[in-house]
Structure 1
Amino acid sequence: MAVAVTMARMKLAILRHSLKGDKGTMMASGGTLGLVLAAGTIYLAFLEGDWLAAALAVWMLGWIIGPVFSGGGDETLRPEFFSLMGLPPWRLAAALLVSAFVGVAPVVGLIALAGLVVAATSPVNALVAVPAMVLQLAVFVLLSKVAVALLGIALRSRAGAIGAGLLNGVVLAFLGQAWVFAVAFGQGAQIPEFVRYLPSGWGLLAVQGDYLGLAAMVVLIALLLAAWAGLLTRRAGANRPSTRGRRPMRARNGREAVVAKELRTWSRDLVRNHQLTFALAYGVFFASAPLVLGWTDMLPWAAPIFIVMAAAMTSNLYGTDGTSLWLALMTPGSSDVRGRQLAWLVTVGPVAVLVAVACTLITGGPWAVILTATAALLGGGAGLVPLISVYALVPSTDPQKRGGNPLRTSEEDGALTGLAYLAMVLVALTGAPAIAVATLYGWWGVAAGLATGALCYWGLGLLADRRLTARGPELLHLMRTGRRPESPKPSAFKLPDMPAAHRTIVMICWVLGAIPLFPQGVVAAIMVSNGQLRHSWFLATYMEPGLRWPVALGFVLLGLTMYGTGLWLPHRAKKKAAAG
């Protein structure tokens, strides 16, 4: 018990000193979004039916799949830190479990589980809800820990990395399209009864009088704790290099050498295998989920979604490769950026084109728009991936030094998550002009897509190459030490010094601004213009005739205002700093 308390105090001290700068802002933004979702979960507890059980199942999936997208989950205290203490695996696992309850995510999860108090069927069961909430949260945390540990083992083989990427992509896409299934249930279908009997629903069963739910959670916690303890003993195992023979690389110049090296990295690096499979699975399943409602219009967008997600997953391209950056710096004229661009395009492009053609054939169109989007986004992704990586590089662990959690490629998991969201927004914007042309003028959009894609590929790649040439030594210093050298010019992607409240507002605006702007604004307006009324979660389609367009346009203005606020506050802070 003393060890557990000490670890909890250690983590609390670390978190207390981490509430400054970008990490604190990201933590505040994530906590705010989590509180909104927790409030929605509590609201569902007041509704009749199994809505709360379904919401808790989604929370459980979020705990399992969330670490995949956030760099391996919260590992403020790593098991490796305590390897020399000689603690038995079960005791180490129990102490780490106690420390795992310290943090923003567990607090948010506990607030969401307060819905169990609302769902209690009697005052006695309301008292039962208190231990049920704690046990249910322990189940979520342990499921997350075991899932990360199993994924770490899976990422030691190519088949495991691909299988894990497929599963994670499908689950995260399900969470992103949960509204589709909610609407399907609301249109006459019933939430399956088995949802109540999933591990996520055992606390709900307990507060409704079935006290075996408490006993079942205790047993499950013991089993998961034992499994995690066993997996911790295997965590230190290193990846064994393949001993198969390899064909020698042949290249006539520096660019071809970079392309050959990158293509081999794409085929050998299990983390990249996982990222590419994850992006593909996410794009296909996210676009096909609305088929549950009989809506086929999103299916052709599987390829554009895949491209955007692939760019997001690889947005820290130079950082992921670690200190091997010195190879490029010591080989002037090797065209490292151009070689990486071409390798990324060769890896992602054929898959994207195949998915675009196959999905568009199934629905019969719109050919011009989808081919335009595919061409434009491929060029935008190939240009932005190296550009973002050299301008906002996040120091990462060298591939040969990755620990028992291969997803933990960086200590700055919040920065990596922010980088991924930034890449998604920017890559999507590179395709917007050509898609607009295709929507208005049909097949002329394909020419526009090819032109904008080529321009992004060349122009953004040129900017990245110049940045790498001018700041290469500083980037290598950042990779080696984790500290940025003093520079009179701050990074364009780094927030200036400003009050913590303003930083939180900026992050909230950037993270949530897309919701009113695109789905509730632009997409809803298109549906209203096409006569698609009372459709899924788009609020404007449910309004009276005189309010449909004002509501849609109001959401567009709200989204633009949020993004404008997210730009104006840092700009004002920079001007104030320059004047002072």
Structure 2
Amino acid sequence: MAVALTMAAMKVAALRHALRGQRAQTAVTGAVLGAVLAGGTLYLAFGDLDLLAAAYAVWLLGWLLGPVFMGGGDETLRPEYFALLGLPARTMAFGLLVAAFVGLAPLISLVALVGLVIAGVRLGVGNALVAVPALVLQLAVFVLLSKVGVALVGLALRSRLGAIATGVVNGAILAGLGQIWVVFWALGQTGIPSVVWYLPSGWGLLAVRGTWWALPALAGLVLVLLAAWAGLLSWRVGATRVSFAGRRRPITAASSSGAVVAKELRAWSRDLVRNYQVTFALAYGVCFAASPLLLSWDGMLPYAGPIFLVMAAAMSANVYGTDGTALWLNLLTPGGSDVRGRQWAWLVVHAPPAVVVTLVCTAVAGGPWPMVLSLLPALLGGAVGLVPLISVYGLVPGTDPHRRANNPLRTSEDDGGLTGQAYAALALVAATAVPAALAAHWFGWAGPVIGVLTGLSCYRGFGALAARRLRTHGVELLQEMRTGRRAAGSRSVRTRFAALPAGRQAVAWVCFGLGAIPLIPQGVLAAVFVSRNMLRHSWFVATYMSPGLRYPVAIAFMVLGATMYAVGTWLVRPTSAKVAG
């Protein structure tokens, strides 16, 4: 117990010193959003308990998937720090578990789980007494399932097959969550499916409701997960990196740019994190677009390829950051265009699956050919132009690949920076397809021509800007990569954001983080459903309106989303023409 308390005190001290500047603003924004969600969960505890069980299932999914998508979860205290102390595996696992309860995420989840006590009070005194241990055990299940899940994903990412399989599974799960309304509709569910009660997230509520086996089951699951995590920690601490002795064909190239292409292609084939990113994006695009087939609606299927490209750009937006300090090799290799080489390599990796998926899915759905053939070249050019540009202008210092072996998901210490970068890539890459989409909508086959011109312009223009930035600020970028601190006098979107007052930072975070909700689902998708006469769909507000208000409401949401992005961009705009990049 002394070890556990010591680790908890270490976690408190580390957080007290780490939550400063931009990290503090990110934490505050996350805490506000988490508090809103926790408050909504507590509100459900006063009503139908089926809704509360469903809410806890969502919290469980958040604990399972959030750390995977946010770079490996909270590792303020790493097992490697205690490897030389000779602690037994179970002692270290228990200590790290106690330390894991220190932080904003467990605190917010604890508040949400107070709904168990509220439900118990509504049912009776005995039920309320059972709710107290059920609350503690339920939170332990959330935390331990998260830890075990991250450890298993990290274990899978140590082999190429595991990385690919993990990417497919996680991409499919996230796409399914994004289209969960389809599943409910296909199953003919007008309410909450009863299965949510029997997930581990519902056992605490079952115990409060009087099911005799639920509380012992929670306690048993905590012990099993603790033992599993202890085993995974022992393996992680004792794992050694394996050197690949197998011989590979040497890299040959006729030019320095060709050497960059060859080097990048080798990295895309050998880096297991990159393997994971590609397969995740592809699985997400296909599953997201194919989900409405459960409703016998194939209208979204042709857009699987474009969705894949947008998600792939978001996953790889920190392409220079993930290379770590290897940037010095590029700075000392004159005569070659590193940016152009990376662009060609990105195209070689992503264009074939995007083209194949788009053509096959569009053929199955029977069109619309002008629209998809407009979006495809525009998004390819937009993604391949913006990925290096975003990386050099908003670089997030990454962990050198050889130093992230014990947790392959941990590619950067700044999870908030990676999240903001991914959101920016999603929005900006999608925006590059707007001219082509409008041309296809209004003029039909003129759209593909506009798409090709837009894609080429983005490839050349954004690539040239990225190359110039790398040429003029390469030394500063390398310093930031090595130290995590930007050089004095160097300004970027991230540094301008960090210099904003706290209130403006919070507004900008809300605009960039939540702008996609009114723009895409409540705006674009809702308008598509209304045009197909698919009414009263899940949370799409416009589908519940009277006939005269459906399109105006959808358009209003689109305008709101676009306005939020515009406001966020305005807040972080350069305040002087002298600001570089």
Q: TM-score, normalised by structure 1?
A: 0.94
How far off its partner does 1:493 sit?
6.5
1:536 CA displacement: 3.7
Structure 2 residue aligned with 1:562: 564
Q: CA deviation at 1:396?
A: 1.3
Counterpart mapping for 1:401-412 below 5 A: 401-412=403-414
Letter in 2 for 1:357: L
Q: What letter is aligned with 1:152? A: G
Q: Deviations over 1:158-197 (max 9, x none)?
A: 1111111111111222222233334556x54665434322
Match of 2:321 in 1: 319
After superposition, the Cα gap between the structure-2 partners of 1:340 and 1:368, relative to the gap in structure 1 and judged at 3 Å, is: same
Determine if contact 1:235/1:403 at 8 Å carries over to the other structure: no
1:46-445 pair list within 5 angstroms: 46=46, 48=48, 50-120=50-120, 121-184=123-186, 187-188=188-189, 191-236=192-237, 237-445=239-447
State the percentage of identical aligned residues.
Answer: 59
Give the SS at the match of 1:113: helix
Residue 476 of structure 1 and its aligned partner are, at CA, apart by: 1.2
Q: Which moved more, 1:506-515 or 1:54-63?
A: 54-63
CA distance in 2 between counterparts of 1:238 and 1:163 reads 23
**1:429-464 CA deviation, whole Å, 9 max, x = no partner?**
111111111122122111111110111011100000
- Shift in Å, 1:23: 1.3
Alpha-carbon RMSD across the aligned residues, in angstroms, is: 2.2
Residues 313-353 of structure 1: CA deviation (Å, up to 9, x unaligned): 11110111111111111111111110000000000000011
- Asked if structure 2 preserves the Cα contact closer than 8 Å seen for 1:155 and 1:161, the reply is yes
Distance 1:179 1:106, change over 3 A: farther
User: What's the CA shift for 1:544?
Assistant: 2.2
How many Å separate the matches in 2 of 1:46 and 1:125? 15
**Given that residues 496 and 570 in structure 1 are in contact (C-alpha distance below 8 angstroms), is that contact kept between their aligned partners in structure 2?**
no
**1:126-148 Cα deviation digits (max 9, x unpaired):** 23222212211110110111111
Q: What amino acid does structure 2 have at the position aligned with 1:180? A: V
In structure 2, do the counterparts of structure 1 residues 184 and 31 end up closer, same or farther at CA, with 3 Å as the change threshold? farther
- Contact 2:54 2:196 survives alignment (8 Å): yes
Separation in 1 of the partners of 2:506 and 2:498? 13
Q: Is the 8 A contact 2:511 2:564 kept in 1?
A: yes
Distance 2:369 2:241 in 1: 44
User: More deviation in 303-312 or 231-240?
Assistant: 231-240
Which amino acid in the other structure matches residue 16 of structure 2? R
Q: Which moved more, 1:126-135 or 1:337-346?
A: 126-135
Instruction: Give distance in 1, aligned partners of 2:159 and 2:30.
Output: 33
**Structure 1: gaps (5+ residues):** none
Aligned partner of 1:26 in structure 2 is 26
Greater shift in the superposed pair: 404-413 or 41-50: 41-50
Show structure 2 runs of 5+ residues with no match: none
1:280: Cα distance to partner? 0.9
2:198 maps to amino acid: Y
CA contact (8 A) 2:496 2:572 kept: no
SS of residue in 1 equivalent to 2:22: helix
Quote how far apart the aligned CAs of 1:531 are: 4.5
| Kept after mapping to 2: 8 A contact 1:156/1:239 | no
Give the equivalent residue in structure 2 for 1:454. 456
Partner AA of 1:94 in structure 2: F
Q: Indicate which of 520, 523, 530 corresponds to 1:521.
A: 523
Partner Cα distance (2:481, 2:572) in 1: 26
CA 1:137–1:54 in structure 2 vs 1: closer, same or farther (change >3 Å)? same
Q: Which residue of 1 aligns with 2:6?
A: 6
Contact 1:94–1:225, Cα closer than 8 Å, also in 2: yes
Inter-partner Cα distance in structure 1 for 2:217 and 2:396: 43
Tell me what 1:38 maps to: 38
Deviation, structure 1 residue 64? 1.3
* In 2, Cα distance between equivalents of 1:213 and 1:376: 54
- Code of the aligned partner of 1:344: W
What is the identity, as a one-letter code, of the residue corresponding to 1:233?
Answer: S
Distance in 2 of aligned mates of 1:441 and 1:239: 57
Q: Structure 1 pair 548/194, CA: closer, same or farther in 2 (3 Å)? A: closer
Do 2:321 and 2:395's aligned partners in 1 also have CA atoms closer than 8 Å?
yes
In structure 2, distance between residues paired with 1:20 and 1:140:
27
Aligned letter for 1:213? A
How far the C-alpha of 1:492 sits from its partner, in A, is: 6.1
Q: CA deviation at 1:532?
A: 4.3
Deviations 1:348-387 (A, max 9, x none): 0000111111211221111221121121111111111111
Q: 1:201 to 1:131 in 2, by over 3 A?
A: same
Go from structure 1 to structure 2 and tell me whether the alpha carbon gap of 1:248 and 1:368 turns closer, same or farther (over 3 Å shift): same
Local SS of the residue matching 2:18:
coil
Q: Is the 8 A contact 1:391 1:493 kept in 2?
A: no
SS of corresponding position for 2:245: coil
Report the CA distance between 1:302 and its aligned residue. 1.3
Distance 1:399 1:496 in 2: 27
* Residues 188 and 212 (structure 1), Cα distance of their counterparts in 2 relative to 1, 3 Å cut: closer
Question: Once structures 1 and 2 are overlaid, which stretch shifts more, 107-116 or 464-473?
Answer: 107-116
CA deviation map 1:252-308 (0-9, x unaligned): 101111111111111111111111111111111122222233332122211111111
TM-superposed CA distance for 1:54, in Å, is 2.9
Task: Check if 1:483 corresponds to 2:485.
Answer: yes
